[in-house]
Amino acid sequence: MGFQGFGPEALPFFKALAFHQTKEWFEENRATYERAVKGPMGDLVEDVAARLASAKIPIKGDRKASLFRLHRDARFSKNKDPYKTNAGLAMTRTGSKTDPGVLYFHLSPEECFFAAGFYRLDPSPLGRLRAAAARAPKAYKPMIAKLAKAGLALSEEDALKRAPRGFEGIDDPDILVAARQRHFICLRPVSEAEIREPALADALCAFAEDVLPLLEWGWDALTETR
C-alpha cells in the first residue's frame, strides 16, 4: 500500500516529545512514533522514489537510507535534549543523504515544507557554484527563469550582505544574488491539511520536477569545475 498521508497523531507526537524529552516517555510512546511518523515517512519516500524513477527524474531514496534519525547528536551542543522534534527525508541522485543536490521534506509542528538544492556546502563546492553562475550566465539565468515560472526562487537564507572577493565589477542582479548565496536552495511551504492527504506524494513529485533545473545546473557546475 502506498502513502496514505500522516495521521492526526503525527504533529501532536512532536509537541509532546518537545515537552518530555526523556527516554522513558519515548519508549512508552514509541509505537505512536512508528505508526504515525516513521511508517508514513517511509511510505512517502518509497512512493515518491517509484514515481520519480518512472518519470526518469534522477532522484532516489528508500525508507532505510533517506530518513533521518530521531536521536540528536548532542555531544558538541549546549542543547542536550536527546530527541529531535521534527522528521524529514532526503533523496539524492545516489540515494545517499550525503550526496550533493537533495530533495527534502520537513515535518514539524512549527512548519512543514519541501526543499531542494545544495545546502550547507563546504567552501570549495560553494565557491564552484558561485563561480559557475558568474562564468556562464547563459546557463545560470535560464535556470533561474525556469524556477520563477514554477513560482520558485533561490532562498536568500543566510545570504552574505555583499558579494565576496572576486565578484567586483559585476552589476547583473541575478549573478550578484548567486555570489552572495551560502546555500543554493528553493523552498515550498506545505500546509498541515496537505500532510494528511495521499496527494502529498503528488505534490512532492511535482516539486521535484519544478526544481530539477536547479539540481541539474548544480550537478553540472560541480562536475565541470572540479
The whole-number pLDDT of residue 167 equals 87
> Which pTM does this prediction carry?
0.94
Provide the residue count of the chain: 226
At 111, the amino acid letter reads E
The whole-number pLDDT of residue 1 equals 66
The whole-number pLDDT of residue 73 equals 79
Of residues 94, 159, 91, the one with CA closest to residue 130: 159
The whole-number pLDDT of residue 165 equals 87
The whole-number pLDDT of residue 87 equals 98
All three cell numbers of 212: 530539477
Contact 192, 42 (CB under 8 A): no
Q: What span, in angstroms and rounded, lies between the C-alpha atoms of 70 and 124? A: 30
Integer angstrom CA distances of residue 215 from 102, 138, 222: 8, 16, 11
At 199, the amino acid letter reads A
Q: What span, in angstroms and rounded, lies between the C-alpha atoms of 51 and 49? A: 5
DSSP character for 106?
A: E
Query: 3-class secondary structure for the chain?
Result: CCCCCCCCCHHHHHHHHHHHCCHHHHHHCHHHHHHHHHHHHHHHHHHHHHHHHHCCCCCECCCCCCECCCECCCCCCCCCCCECCCEEEEEECCCCCCCCCEEEEEECCCCEEEEEEECCCCHHHHHHHHHHHHHCHHHHHHHHHHHHHCCCCCCCCCCCCCCCCCCCCCCCHHHHHHHHCCCEEEEEEECHHHHCCCHHHHHHHHHHHHHHHHHHHHHHHHHHCC
Integer angstrom CA distances of residue 226 from 94, 129, 183, 223: 19, 11, 19, 6
Q: Would you give per-residue pLDDT tens digits along the chain (226 residues)?
A: 689 999 999 999 999 999 999 999 999 999 999 999 999 999 999 999 999 999 999 999 999 999 999 998 767 677 788 999 999 999 999 999 989 999 999 999 999 999 999 999 999 999 999 999 999 999 999 999 999 999 999 999 899 998 888 888 888 999 999 999 999 999 999 999 999 999 999 999 999 999 999 999 999 999 874 4
Integer angstrom CA distances of residue 80 from 76, 100, 155: 9, 29, 30
